[in-house]
Structure 1
Amino acid sequence: MTESDPRRSIPRTDYLLTLPEVVAAAQRLGQATVKAVIAEAQSAARDGRITPAEVAPTVIDRLGSRSASSLTPVLNATGIIVHTNLGRAPLSEAAQQAVADAAGYVDVEMDLATGKRSKRGTGVKQALLRTCPAAEDAVIVNNGAAALLLAVTALRADHSSARGHRAGPSTAQGPQVDVPVARSVDAEEIIVSRGELIEIGAGFRLTDLMTTTGARLHEVGTTNRTHLTDYANAIGPESANLLKVHTSNFRVEGFTSSVEVSELRGLADEHNLPLIVDLGSGLFTHDDALPDEPDVDAALRAGADVVIVSGDKLLGGPQAGLVLGRTEAVQRIATHPLARAMRTDKLTLAALEATITHTGNPVHDALHIDLDELRRRTETLAEVVGATVVAHDGRVGGGGAPGVPLPGWAIELPEDCAAALRTDDPAIVTRVHQGRCLVDLRCVPAGDDERIAAAITRVLTGGDDVHVDTVTHTVGSNLLGDHD
C-alpha cells in the first residue's frame, strides 16, 4: 500500500471506538458486537465498496439500527394468526409490560411479608383456576411437549398388588408364596388411538416423544375409526394410562368415528387408569368462532384427570405447557423429578398471568376481527398503492382449528414483491400463493397500515423518501376521513 493509497485514511479501530455514538452503542450491544460492525465497515472500505470517509457514518448508522438481539421484528401480513415461524402469539401490551416489570429482581419465589421462600408461579396458578373453575389444580411447564412427556411419565397406574409377582412352588412346609418378578419399566403401555398419533412441525412426532419415557405405545383402532371396545380390548396388566390427543393440525373426514372423553372416563374408572387428554391448542372455554375446537372446561367436566394445552396458541400468551385437572393427578406431575427440568422462568410466568387476567390480546382480536373494518382498511391500502382487493381466507395456524377458514380480504401484488417486502424495513411477511403476493391485514395492527403502504410503494415504484412521506400522509388522511 503506497503513501497515496486512499485506504491508508481508513479510520482506525481505536479512533472509531471513541466516537460518542459508538460508546453509547457499546453499552447497549457489547464491545464484541461493536468491533465486529467496525471491522465490517473497514473491510468494505478496503474493498472499495465505500470510501474511507464513509466508514464512521456507516458504523454509526449500523449500530444505531442494530438490536441487542439477532431477532428481527416483522409485520405479519400472512393472515395466519398463530404463525409458528414468526413466534406464534404476539404478546398483548399487558403481557409485554409484565415481562418488562419482571426483567429485574422480583419475588418469584419469596413471600415478602415473611421473608421466606414461597412456591413459584402461585399467582398464575390462581389466575388459571379462576379462569377454569372445572380444574382443581394446575402446573405450568416450558411447552406443550414437555407437559405431555411429564404427564405420561408421572401418571402411570399402580397395579403393584395385581402384577409384578408370581406364585412360588408348593412345598411340604407350606402353601405357595408370592415371589417378586423382575419387571422393566419399559413394559408399561400407553393406550392411544392410531388416528391420534400425530406429527407436528419440523418432523416432530408425539410417538417419539412418548416412547422416550420407557413406555410402549399400544395403538388401538384404525386411522379413521376407533371404538370404545378397541380401548377395552387393549387394557391389560401392562396398561399405564389412557391417552386422548386432539388432532389439532389435521382433519380426517368421511367415514370416521372416535371415542369421547366421557366414554373413556368410565373405562378408566373400571380399570383404575389415569385419563390424559392433550388438546394442544385447545381453548379454555367454547368459542363460537371455532365451533368444533375442543376446550379445557368441557374436557375436564367430561372426566379427564388432566388436560394439556399450550399457552402460546389460542390462549395468546407466551410459550408454555399448561396442565389442569384433578388435584391428585396434578400433584403427581408437579412433584415428579422431571418437573424441575421443565419449569418456566419468571418472564414466562409474568406474561402468562397478564394474558390470562386481561381479556384482550392480539390473537383474540385477530380471530374476532370486525370484517367490515378489515375490508375498509384493505380497500384503503389498495387504493393508495394501486393494487387490487381479493377475497382471502385467514387461518388460526399453530396447529389450531385445521382447515377452518377465517373469511377476509387481501391486496394482490406481483409474486416478486414478497422477497422485497421481507427484506425491507420494516420486514413484512406476506403470503405467496398461485404466483401472487397477498397482503392480509388481519394480524397487522391498524397503526401500522401507513408503514405497510410506504413499504409497498417503495417496492413497486422505487420511490424516494419524499414519495413515501406523501403516501404515508395519504393513508393517514384516508383513515382519518373514514372515522369522521
Structure 2
Amino acid sequence: MTDPRRHIPRTDAVLADPRLVKAVARIGYPLVKKAVVDAQQRARTGEIPPESIVEAAVDALPRHASGLRPVLNATGILVHTNLGRAPLSAAAVDAVAAAAGVTNVEFDLRTGQRAPRGRGALEALAAAVPTAGGVHVVNNNAAALLLVALALAGDGREIVISRGELVEIGDGFRIPELLACTGAKLREVGATNRCRPDDYADAINERTAFVLKVHPSNFLVSGFTREVGVSELAGLGVPIVADVGSGLLRPHPLLPDEPDVATALAEGAALVTASGDKLLGGPQAGLLFGAADLVHRLRRHPAARALRVDKLTLAALEATLRGPLPPVPAMLIGSRSDLFGRAEKLASELRESGISAVPVQTEAAVGGGGAPGVRLPSAAVSLPARFTAALRAGEPPVVGRTDKDRCLLDLSTVDAAQDKVVAAAVRAAAVT
C-alpha cells in the first residue's frame, strides 16, 4: 500500500493557496509558514488527512502578528495587572491609531520648527491638577520614583522613609532596592507598624535629600499602628515626595482612604508620583506633579531621556484626560443594582441552553495596587468549575475566577454590551 505521507504537499505548494498568500501580507511569512509546517506534521502523524493540510493551516492562523490577544475580564478586579491593567477608552484607542503613523510629536505645524515633546499631553495633565506648579511624564510609576531619587539624591544623599513603607511593588521588585540602585542612601525610621513625627524629625540632617511617603498600595496594616501623613511632614524643612501609586488625581467618594494627587499637594508635598494605568484609566505611565523648579530638574536630568514615553502613550494619555470617562472610572461609579439584573438574565439564557448557571451576589475589588480592603458590591454568573479553564481557551478568551468549586463570571468588569459575547463563549465552552 502507498504510504499516505507521500501525498503530503510541499510547503511552497501549500503557501501558494490564495488565503495563505493574503495571510502573509497581513501577519507575515514566519507565522504563516509555522501554521503550514504544523499542519503538515499533523498529517504525518495521521491526525488529519493530507488533503486537509491547507484548511488546517488556515484555521490555525493567528488573528494578529502579536501574541497579545483581546481578553474579556470577568474576574471582578477592575484594574487587573496580569490582564494589562486599565483598558483604554474608545477615545484613547482612536488617538493611538491616529498617532501610530507619522505624527507631530515634536513638531509645530504652524511654524515648521521643533516643538516640546508631548505638549498636548502635558497641558492636559496640568489642567487635570491645576494646583501643580509643574508636570512631567515617564514610562511608569517606578520610573518616576527612580528619576526623583536620581535627580535629588543620586549623589549619595539620604532619603528618609518609614520602615512600614519599604514595600514590594510586584514581581519581586522592592522600593528600597529601586532607590538604592540610584546611589541614594536610605534612612529608615520608626517601626514596621508604628511611625511618629519625631522619628522623621530626628533623622533629618544636612545630608537629607527628601522624605519619601509611600502608599502601601496592595495591603493593609491594621491593629496597633500609626503612620505620619504628608501634612505632618510638611514642616520638616526638606522636600516631601509622596507616592500615591494608584493614579487617583482627586478625592473619590467611594475611596475615602485612598490618597490622591491634589490632596497630597495641598498638604505640602513638593512632588507627587502616580500611575497612569490604574484609577486614572489610561496607558502605562508615571505621572509627576509638584513644584515647578523641582519638576524642571527632573525633566532636565540625563536619565529623563531614558525614561521618556513614546508617541502612542502621549496620545493615549491626552485622550484619557480630555475625552469621555474611561472604563475603569466608569466601572467604579456604575450602578451596582443593575449588575444582579444582568446576571439573572444571562443565567436564565444559559439555562435555556442546558447549562447549570445561577446568578449570585458577590464582591469586586479595585486591584492593581489601589484601594486595598475596599470591596464593591457586585453580581456574577456561577457556572460549574470546569468552565474556568474552558472559557480561557475560547475565542475570545473569557477570564473568570474560581470560588468554592464554581466558576464565577463577575459582571462588574464586563461591559453590558459584551453580555451576548459572554453568553456565546459559555455555550461554546459547554460543548468542548
| TM-score bucket of the superposed structures, by smaller chain | over 0.9
| Alignment match, 2:217 | 248
1:290 has 2:255 as partner: yes
Which letter does structure 1 place at the counterpart of 2:302?
P
Output the CA distance in 2 between the equivalents of 1:229 and 1:142.
35
- 1:377-456 alignment, distance < 5 Å: 377-386=342-351, 387-456=357-426
- 1:334-353 alignment, distance < 5 Å: 334-353=299-318
Output the CA distance in 2 between the equivalents of 1:397 and 1:256.
23
Output the CA distance in 1 between the equivalents of 2:134 and 2:55.
58
Which letter does structure 1 place at the counterpart of 2:318?
E
Q: Secondary structure at the match of 2:376?
A: coil
Which letter does structure 2 place at the counterpart of 1:324?
F
**Contact residue 343 and residue 360 of structure 2 kept, 8 A:** no
Q: Secondary structure at the match of 1:407?
A: strand
The count of aligned residue pairs is 427
Output the CA distance in 2 between the equivalents of 1:265 and 1:69.
48
1:458 deviation in Å?
A: 3.1
1:126 has 2:140 as partner: no
1:6 alignment partner, one of 4, 7, 14? 4
Measured against aligned partners, the alpha-carbon deviations of 1:234-282 in whole angstroms (never above 9, x if no partner) come to 1123222111111111111222221121221110x2xxx2221111004
**Contact residue 284 and residue 313 of structure 2 kept, 8 A:** yes
Unaligned stretches of 5+ in structure 2?
A: 352-356
Output the CA distance in 2 between the equivalents of 1:208 and 1:426.
39
Output the CA distance in 2 between the equivalents of 1:283 and 1:435.
35
1:435 deviation in Å?
A: 2.0
Between the aligned residues of both structures, percent identity stands at: 52
- 1:175-254 alignment, distance < 5 Å: 185-186=155-156, 188-254=157-223
Output the CA distance in 1 between the equivalents of 2:385 and 2:30.
39
| Alignment match, 1:181 | none
TM-score, length of structure 1 as denominator length: 0.86
**Contact residue 16 and residue 56 of structure 1 kept, 8 A:** yes
| Alignment match, 1:479 | none
Output the CA distance in 2 between the equivalents of 1:279 and 1:359.
24
Which letter does structure 2 place at the counterpart of 1:260?
G
1:305 alignment partner, one of 252, 262, 270? 270
Which letter does structure 1 place at the counterpart of 2:6?
R
**Contact residue 147 and residue 322 of structure 1 kept, 8 A:** yes
Measured against aligned partners, the alpha-carbon deviations of 1:34-68 in whole angstroms (never above 9, x if no partner) come to 111111111111111111111011112222x5311
1:364 has 2:329 as partner: yes
**Contact residue 141 and residue 322 of structure 1 kept, 8 A:** yes
1:26 has 2:24 as partner: yes
**Contact residue 378 and residue 411 of structure 2 kept, 8 A:** no
Output the CA distance in 2 between the equivalents of 1:437 and 1:60.
32
Unaligned stretches of 5+ in structure 1?
A: 157-183, 464-484
Q: Secondary structure at the match of 1:391?
A: strand
Which letter does structure 2 place at the counterpart of 1:8?
R
1:141 alignment partner, one of 129, 138, 141? 138
Which letter does structure 1 place at the counterpart of 2:278?
K
| Alignment match, 1:55 | 53
Output the CA distance in 2 between the equivalents of 1:282 and 1:108.
24
Measured against aligned partners, the alpha-carbon deviations of 1:382-401 in whole angstroms (never above 9, x if no partner) come to 11223122221100000000
1:343 deviation in Å?
A: 0.3
Most deviating of 441-450 and 93-102: 441-450
Most deviating of 346-355 and 15-24: 15-24
Output the CA distance in 2 between the equivalents of 1:132 and 1:359.
17
1:35 alignment partner, one of 33, 46, 50? 33
Output the CA distance in 2 between the equivalents of 1:320 and 1:384.
41
Q: Secondary structure at the match of 1:200?
A: strand
**Contact residue 155 and residue 274 of structure 1 kept, 8 A:** no
1:445 deviation in Å?
A: 1.7
TM-score, length of structure 2 as denominator length: 0.96
**Contact residue 11 and residue 56 of structure 1 kept, 8 A:** no
Which letter does structure 2 place at the counterpart of 1:231?
Y
1:332 deviation in Å?
A: 0.6
**Contact residue 220 and residue 372 of structure 2 kept, 8 A:** yes
Q: Secondary structure at the match of 1:318?
A: coil
Q: Secondary structure at the match of 1:408?
A: strand
1:362 deviation in Å?
A: 0.8
Greater radius of gyration (CA): 1
**Contact residue 282 and residue 293 of structure 1 kept, 8 A:** no
| Alignment match, 1:473 | none
Q: Secondary structure at the match of 1:437?
A: strand
**Contact residue 190 and residue 218 of structure 1 kept, 8 A:** yes
